[in-house]
């Protein structure tokens, strides 16, 4: 058993156990999950679990956190645990979330990944290996060595460098007609050291212009960005009206959610300007105070009290709704899925 789990497993009461769980999630699990999302998908998530421009990044972060909480809640102090390395455990859970996402959203890249894995396995000069909990790849002579510094670069920096790489190594060729084995070998020579296999997939996909049909995101359901969401389909003069209509649809969808999902989404909502949902709705004249209270199933006085505390993070939500952090993550995830389906439909 990893020693970092000992305080959680040996907690003497529910309050202490919840406190230890919060520390494991905030101090250890969250940074690891954010790192996995960034490395594997290029998805940034803030320390608070938000990305105002990418709702899918937030959804994946919350899903990974929920899986960690579920796994920890299943541990029994008396039975012990087979989690020898908590960081590795969390990283693998987060990686599985990313894999599930890619399989569903990026079938072309998934096929490329399988193709590259097969190449690395069959080619005598190439190899894959595990190092510090990460799957690396490169020339066989590099086995059991750490990854190259290029892995730490931002996705946009890597893409900029790949433009230079292609102009030097494949200037007079249609790279899509070049054998993949040659492209991979040239990339390894250029990088000069091992890389994570997911980064190799991303770089190869970029060079071969392999991409799947992008799926629009509602980007945290912020009215400041709804204008951008509709920009491709509406004229500038109509953008404000479209944003107003979408906000109206959002409110109608929110009050149709099960009560716990409605509350978790509404109390935790924050737009790009940092405003809570109640303030946004009132300012846009979508509702008045009485309509807001009826929609939330509360009195006007209670809505006023809640508004002062909003937007709430997971800890505040858990206290307000008297629920565990695991339930908060689950309710929020389900609310977002329902709302996206409703609004995109």
Least confident of 91-100, 133-142, 221-230, 335-344: 221-230
| pLDDT tens per residue across span 250-264 | 999 999 999 999 999
- Residue 286 domain-assigned (yes or no): yes
My answer on whether 283 and 261 are in the same domain is yes
Name the more confident of 286 and 153: 286
**Does the pLDDT of residue 298 top 50, yes or no?**
yes
Alpha helices by DSSP H, listed for the chain, are: 6-9, 14-23, 30-41, 55-73, 86-105, 107-122, 155-169, 180-191, 197-208, 223-230, 239-254, 259-268, 277-283, 289-296, 300-309, 314-321, 325-344
Residue 299 carries which DSSP code? Answer: -
pLDDT band at 232 (very low <50, low <70, confident <90, very high): very low
My answer on whether 224 and 336 are in the same domain is yes
Question: How many Cβ atoms are within 10 Å of 283's Cβ, its own excluded?
Answer: 10
| Domain CATH for 76 | 1.10.1740
**Host domain of residue 249:** 219-344
Instruction: Provide the pLDDT for residue 126.
Output: 93
- If you compute the radius of gyration of the chain from its CA atoms, what whole number of angstroms results? 23
Q: Which of 104, 139, 159 is the last residue of a domain?
A: 104
Mean pLDDT of the chain: 80
My answer on whether 176 and 83 are in the same domain is no
- Residue 213 domain-assigned (yes or no): no
Instruction: Provide the pLDDT for residue 239.
Output: 46
Instruction: Provide the pLDDT for residue 217.
Output: 38
My answer on whether 113 and 83 are in the same domain is no
d(CA 262, CA 322): 15
d(CA 81, CA 89): 12
Q: How many CA atoms lie within 13 A of 197 on its CB side?
A: 25
Question: Strand, helix or coil at 212?
Answer: coil
Least confident of 9-13, 46-50, 131-135, 315-319: 131-135
My answer on whether 100 and 142 are in the same domain is no
| pLDDT tens per residue across span 123-132 | 999 999 887 7
- Residue 307 domain-assigned (yes or no): yes
| pLDDT tens per residue across span 44-57 | 888 778 887 888 88
Instruction: Provide the pLDDT for residue 273.
Output: 60
Share of the chain above pLDDT 90, in %: 17
**Does the pLDDT of residue 299 top 80, yes or no?**
yes
My answer on whether 253 and 204 are in the same domain is no
Instruction: Provide the pLDDT for residue 345.
Output: 62
My answer on whether 185 and 143 are in the same domain is yes
Domain count, the chain: 3
Least confident of 210-219, 220-229, 275-284, 322-331: 220-229
| Lookup: tokens for 324 | 């565990």
My answer on whether 98 and 128 are in the same domain is no
d(CA 23, CA 40): 25
């Amino acid at each position: 058993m990893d020693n970092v789990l000992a305080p959680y497993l040996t907690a003497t009461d529910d309050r202490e156990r919840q406190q230890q769980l919060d520390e494991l999630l905030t101090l250890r699990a969250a940074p690891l999950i954010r790192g996995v999302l960034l490395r594997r998908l290029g998805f940034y998530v803030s320390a608070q679990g938000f990305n105002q421009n990418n709702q899918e990044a937030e959804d994946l972060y919350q899903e990974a956190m929920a899986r960690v909480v579920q796994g920890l809640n299943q541990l029994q102090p008396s039975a012990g645990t087979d989690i020898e390395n908590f960081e590795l455990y969390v990283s693998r859970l987060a990686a599985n979330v990313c894999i599930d996402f890619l399989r569903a959203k990026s079938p072309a890249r998934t096929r490329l990944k399988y193709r590259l894995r097969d190449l690395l396995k069959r080619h005598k000069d190439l190899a894959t290996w595990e190092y510090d909990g990460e799957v690396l790849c490169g020339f066989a002579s590099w086995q059991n060595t750490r990854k190259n510094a290029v892995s730490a670069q931002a996705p946009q920096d890597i893409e900029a460098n790949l433009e230079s790489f292609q102009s030097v190594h494949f200037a007079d060729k249609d790279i899509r007609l070049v054998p993949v084995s040659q492209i991979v070998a040239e990339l390894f020579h250029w990088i000069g050291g091992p890389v994570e296999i997911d980064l190799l997939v991303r770089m190869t996909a970029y060079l071969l212009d392999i991409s799947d049909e992008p799926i629009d995101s509602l980007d945290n359901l912020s009215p400041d960005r709804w204008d951008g969401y509709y920009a491709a389909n509406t004229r500038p003069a109509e953008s404000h009206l479209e944003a107003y209509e979408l906000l109206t649809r959002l409110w109608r969808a929110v009050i149709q959610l099960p009560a716990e999902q409605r509350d978790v989404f509404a109390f935790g909502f924050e737009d790009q300007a940092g405003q809570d949902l109640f303030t946004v709705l009132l300012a846009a004249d979508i509702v008045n105070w009485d309509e807001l209270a009826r929609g939330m199933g509360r009195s006007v006085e209670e809505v006023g009290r809640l508004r002062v505390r909003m937007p709430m993070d997971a800890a505040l939500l858990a206290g307000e709704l008297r629920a565990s952090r695991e339930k908060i993550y689950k309710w929020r995830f389900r609310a977002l899925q329902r709302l996206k389906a409703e609004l995109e439909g």
